[in-house]
């Protein structure tokens, strides 16, 4: 169980998803609550652990004197401090306000809430909806748009209302909107929260999704040789590359992992005892790939496709294309981060674009656009 996920008073994880949806990628670890379609917003608040309020209170000196223009943010149910210091102009946005906005949007426009929850002691929360907007790529590879509301109660970050695109085949998050910095709406807590402005901004979501869908189709039409794929992963992951005495390049572990996952094959790190010899062997295979030779992957890559590794890698849209390489990165960032810090950090990276995962997806998107423009 992830150690930073918030929990309700009953000890349940503060996370829920829509019944009938593909379970979230973190479901086995977090065991989120399941909510039926059309459930009241109060049911979502209870299931997702969002039925608490926050308040702003003065900070005090040791002698009990209030500190001028110094406040803290705390949960009213537990008293836990989620933001130790803020100035007086900070205005809270309650969890109920985000849920009410989501409820209004689903009633007026036919959307549905698909997931919601709290992270880091309740200092961050999210509510995500799904629209009926989708796009179909070759081989029935579908992507859809899922507007995301995220509130921060820390006093240090803005609230975000943005569009996140999801690949339905493997439920990996394609954060192109975050990569491009095109947040639908950003609320910095210094002005009153305006739900009507957010709802109006959500009208742009269809246009932005259409742009992303067009890029996805172009990626799916861009054939990639193994050598080009190798260079793409080198550009995205970088990592430590070494050169031996003969001038041969020893590619990074991150690049070798990506090449394996791209083919639906698993990657098992080699032992330290023979690391140097294997590095040379791996380098030799990748150099042959770079020269366009049809060779097998290195020794630390499983020989046969492994179940659950990069689902959809062999679809018509992804097999031997830039779309397949791009989705390999997004799947790896969501499912197989190099440093697994737990589901809480994974969810934050997946949904909010925070940390290494979000930056990796942004870089993958940028490199893909460069290839399309070349």
4 CB-side CA count, 13 A = 14
User: Residue 105 pLDDT more than 50?
Assistant: yes
Encode pLDDT of 38-86 as tens digits. 899 999 999 999 999 999 999 999 999 999 999 999 999 989 999 998 9
- 81 & 132 share domain: yes
Residue found by looking up tokens 């996920």 in the block: 5
Better-predicted residue by pLDDT, 172 or 318: 318
Non-local (6+) Cβ contacts of 107 within 8 A are none
184 band by pLDDT with thresholds 50, 70 and 90: low
**Interval 195-216 mean pLDDT:** 80
Res. 146 pLDDT band, cuts 50 70 90: confident
Region 261-284 average pLDDT: 60
Q: Which of the two residues, 112 and 110, has the higher pLDDT score? A: 112
320 inside domain: yes
Q: Which of 198, 218, 238 is the last residue of a domain?
A: 218
pLDDT of 177 strictly over 60: no
Residue 2 forms part of a structural domain = no
Q: Nearest to residue 49, comparing CAs of 106, 114, 122? A: 122
Mean pLDDT, to the nearest integer, of 185-200?
82
In a domain, 3, yes or no: no
pLDDT at 325: 96
Answer yes or no: is pLDDT of 292 > 50.
yes
Q: Which of 46-55, 117-126, 255-264 has the highest mean pLDDT?
A: 46-55
Domain identity same for 111 and 259: no
Distance, in Å, from the CA atom of 13 to the CA atom of 11, rounded to the nearest integer, reads 7
Using CA atoms, how far apart are residues 164 and 349, in angstroms rounded to an integer?
12
Predicted confidence at residue 342, as pLDDT, reads: 58
Say yes or no: 34 and 182 in one domain.
yes
Is residue 290 over pLDDT 60?
yes
Q: Between residues 95 and 226, which one has the greater pLDDT?
A: 95
- Decide which of 268 and 318 is more confident: 318
Res 103 pLDDT > 90: yes
Confidence of residue 210 (pLDDT cuts 50, 70, 90): confident
Bridge partners for 160 per DSSP = 150, 186
Q: Are residues 268 and 240 in the same domain?
A: yes
Sequence-distant (6+) residues with CB within 8 A of 43 are 35
Q: 260 or 316: whose pLDDT is higher?
A: 316
Q: Are residues 304 and 228 in the same domain?
A: yes
Q: Tell whether 42 and 184 lie within a shared domain.
A: yes
Same domain, 365 and 342: yes
Domain boundary among 169, 202, 218: 218
- Residue 5 falls within a domain, yes or no? no
- Cα gap 218→266, rounded to integer Å: 28
Average of per-residue pLDDT across 248-273: 74
pTM: 0.76
pLDDT-derived band at 12 (thresholds 50, 70, 90) equals low
In a domain, 344, yes or no: yes
Q: Which domain holds residue 173?
A: 15-218
Average pLDDT estimate for 158-162:
85
Q: In this predicted model, which residue has the larger pLDDT, 248 or 322?
A: 322
235 with 185, same domain: the answer is: no
**8 within a domain of the structure (yes/no):** no
The answer to whether residue 178 is domain-embedded is yes
Out of 218, 248, 269, a domain closes at 218
Assess whether 210 and 229 both reside in one domain.
no
Q: State how many domains the chain has.
A: 2
Residues 188, 257 share a domain: no
Using pLDDT thresholds of 50, 70 and 90, give the confidence band for residue 174.
confident
pLDDT of residue 254 exceeding 90: no
Please tell me whether residues 229 and 213 are part of one structural domain.
no
Distance in angstroms (rounded) separating the CA atoms of residues 306 and 241 = 27
Task: Answer yes or no: is 7 within a domain.
Answer: no
Instruction: Decide if pLDDT at 279 tops 80.
Output: no
Q: What mean pLDDT is predicted for residues 311-336?
A: 91
pLDDT (0 to 100) of residue 175: 67
The pLDDT value recorded for residue 351 is 58
Q: Could you tell me the pLDDT band of residue 347, with boundaries at 50, 70 and 90?
A: low
Same domain membership, residue 202 and residue 270? no
Residue 305 is predicted with a pLDDT of 63
């Amino acid at each position: 169980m992830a150690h930073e996920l918030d929990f309700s008073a009953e000890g349940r994880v503060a996370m829920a998803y829509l019944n009938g949806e593909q379970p979230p990628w973190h479901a086995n670890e977090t065991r989120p609550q399941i909510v039926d379609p059309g459930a009241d917003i109060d049911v979502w608040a209870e299931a997702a652990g969002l039925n608490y309020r926050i308040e702003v209170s003065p900070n005090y000196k040791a002698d009990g004197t209030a500190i001028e223009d110094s406040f803290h943010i705390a949960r009213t149910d537990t008293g836990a401090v989620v933001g130790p210091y803020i100035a007086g102009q900070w205005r809270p946005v309650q969890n109920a306000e985000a849920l009410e906005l989501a409820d209004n949007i689903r009633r007026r426009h036919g959307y549905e809430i698909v997931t919601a929850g709290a992270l880091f002691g309740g200092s961050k929360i999210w509510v995500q909806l799904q629209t009926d907007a989708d796009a179909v790529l070759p081989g029935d590879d579908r992507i859809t748009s899922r507007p995301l509301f995220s509130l921060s109660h820390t006093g240090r970050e803005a609230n975000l209302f943005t569009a996140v695109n999801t690949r339905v085949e493997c439920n990996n998050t394609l954060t192109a909107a975050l990569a491009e910095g095109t947040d639908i709406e950003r609320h910095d807590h210094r002005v009153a929260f305006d739900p009507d402005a957010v709802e109006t901004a959500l009208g742009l979501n269809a246009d932005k999704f259409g742009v992303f869908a067009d890029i996805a189709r172009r990626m799916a039409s861009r054939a990639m040789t193994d050598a080009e794929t190798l260079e793409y992963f080198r550009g995205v992951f970088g990592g430590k590359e070494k050169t031996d005495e003969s001038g041969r390049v020893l590619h990074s572990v991150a690049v070798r992992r990506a090449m394996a996952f791209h083919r639906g094959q698993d990657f098992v790190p080699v032992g330290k005892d023979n690391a140097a010899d294997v590095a040379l062997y791996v380098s030799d295979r990748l150099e042959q790939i770079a020269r366009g030779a049809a060779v097998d992957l290195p020794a630390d890559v499983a020989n046969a496709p492994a179940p659950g590794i990069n689902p959809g890698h062999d679809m018509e849209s992804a097999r031997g294309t830039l779309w397949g390489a791009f989705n390999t990165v997004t799947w790896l960032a969501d499912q197989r981060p190099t440093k697994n810090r737990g589901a809480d950090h994974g969810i934050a990276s997946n949904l909010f674009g925070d940390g290494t995962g979000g930056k990796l997806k942004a870089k993958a998107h940028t490199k893909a656009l460069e290839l399309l423009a070349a």
